Amino acid sequence: MRKAIIIIAAMLTLFGGRAMAQRCLPGMSAVEIKADMADGFYTGNSRNCGYSFGVFYSVFTGSHGNTWSFGGEYLQTYKPYGAKGRIPVAQFTGEFGYNLHLLSYYSQTFHLYGGISALGGYETVNWGKSVLSDGSTLHDGDNFIYGGGLTLQADFYLSDKIALTANAKGRFSFGSDVQIYHTTYGIGVKFIIE
C-alpha cells in the first residue's frame, strides 16, 4: 500500500502543471494518437476482427469545450475463409467531425464527449488480389468508401498538456463490398497545443 501511495504521489508531481482552469479553452488545439480494436477483441489468431490506428487534430471552440476534429485512420479487419484461412480487408480513411462536450469533473481532470463525423477513403480486399491461394476467385473488390461515425470518448488529464483517452465508435462505410458497419473501441493519448 505504501509503494502505491509513493508511486501515485510521484506521478502527480511529475505530471503536475499549471492551474486546472487552463484546459479546453477556445482556440486551444490538440493532437491525438489512437489505437483501437475493431469488431471484437483482436489477437493474432482472431479470424473475424481487427484493429485500427489513427491520428487526429482537434480545435476547442466556444466556452463549453466542444471541438472540431479531423484526421486519418487505418482499419484492418479479417474475414474467415475456409477451415482456417482469412481474407484481409483494409480501409484508409480521412475523417472530419464535431465533438460535443457532455460532462466534466469540476477539477477538469475528466471530460466526456459525444461526436459525429463524416469519413471517406479507400477499401482494399485481399490487397487487390482476386485469386486466392486455393485457386478460388474473390468477387469482392477494392472500392472508394464514404460514410460517417458516432463516437463516445472520455479524456483523463494527467496534466494541462497530456490526456489519456478511451473511446468507442460506430463506423458506417457505404460503398464497401464486404461490411458496412464496424465497431471500434480503444485508447489513445492526446497532446494539448496552445
Q: Give 145's Cβ-side CA count (13 Å radius).
A: 30
Give 41: exposed, middle or buried? Use CB within 10 Å, 0-12, 13-18, 19+: exposed
pLDDT of residue 18: 41
Quote the longest CA-to-CA distance of the chain.
64
Q: Domains in the chain and their CATH numbers? A: 20-193 (2.40.160.20)
Element (H, E) at 37: strand 29-38
pLDDT of residue 5: 67
**Alpha helices, H only, 63-179:** none
Question: Which of the 8 DSSP states describes residue 22?
Answer: G
pLDDT tens for each residue of 64-101: 789 999 999 999 988 877 777 788 899 999 999 999 99
